[in-house]
């Protein structure tokens, strides 16, 4: 089955830049979306279509993709950015089309 691989955790000091990666065979040929989820809350879409930001999401959040790896970059990290982050793609290559989520990355702000 299709798998998206994320690092379990990323730690960064306030004001620094956090980069969270998402790797998978199909990443290069499909749109990648990113979600932020804080404890006890529903996920929030922070990046869609690889690099676009929904209305209301700070410019500090950006997305990029190279080959089979997508990256969520959070610049000038703030304490309020501490959360779990998930990447998501639509897998239409496998026999059974489906949404796939990465395993999630816990961002810790030191």
Partner 1 sequence: QVQMVQSGAEVKKPGASVKVSCKVSGYTLNELSMHWVRQAPGKGLEWMGGFDPEDGKKIDAQRFQGRVTMTEDTSTDTAYMELSSLRSDDTAVYYCATSIVGAPRYYGMDVWGQGTTVTVSS
For the CB of residue 88, give the shortest distance to partner 1 in the complex, in Å.
7
Q: Kindly give, in sequence order, each residue whose CB lies less than 8 Å from that of residue 4, ignoring residues fewer than 6 positions away.
A: 22, 23, 24, 27, 87, 88, 89, 100, 101, 102, 103
Paired strand residues for 107: 10, 83
Nearer to partner 1, 16 or 108 (CB): 108
Nearer to partner 1, 48 or 64 (CB): 48
Helices (H) and strands (E) in the chain, counts: 0, 9
For the CB of residue 15, give the shortest distance to partner 1 in the complex, in Å.
28
Token pair of 26 as six digits: 């199909």
- Contact status, residue 31 vs residue 86, Cβ threshold 8 Å: no
Nearer to partner 1, 15 or 54 (CB): 54
Nearer to partner 1, 19 or 98 (CB): 98
For the CB of residue 72, give the shortest distance to partner 1 in the complex, in Å.
13
For the CB of residue 45, give the shortest distance to partner 1 in the complex, in Å.
5
Residues that bind partner 1 in the complex, under the rule CB under 8 A = 31, 33, 35, 37, 42-45, 47-49, 54, 84, 86, 88, 90, 96-104
């Amino acid at each position: 089955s299709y798998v998206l691989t994320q690092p379990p955790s990323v730690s960064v000091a306030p004001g620094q830049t956090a980069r969270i990666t998402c790797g998978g065979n199909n990443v290069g040929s499909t749109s990648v979306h990113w979600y932020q989820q804080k404890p006890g809350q529903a996920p929030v879409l922070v990046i869609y279509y690889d690099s676009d930001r929904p209305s209301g999401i700070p410019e500090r959040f950006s997305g990029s993709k190279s080959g089979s790896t997508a990256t969520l970059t959070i610049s000038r990290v703030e304490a309020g950015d501490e959360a779990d982050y998930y990447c998501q793609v639509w897998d239409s290559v496998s026999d059974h089309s489906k949404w796939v989520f990465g395993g999630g990355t816990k961002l810790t702000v030191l």
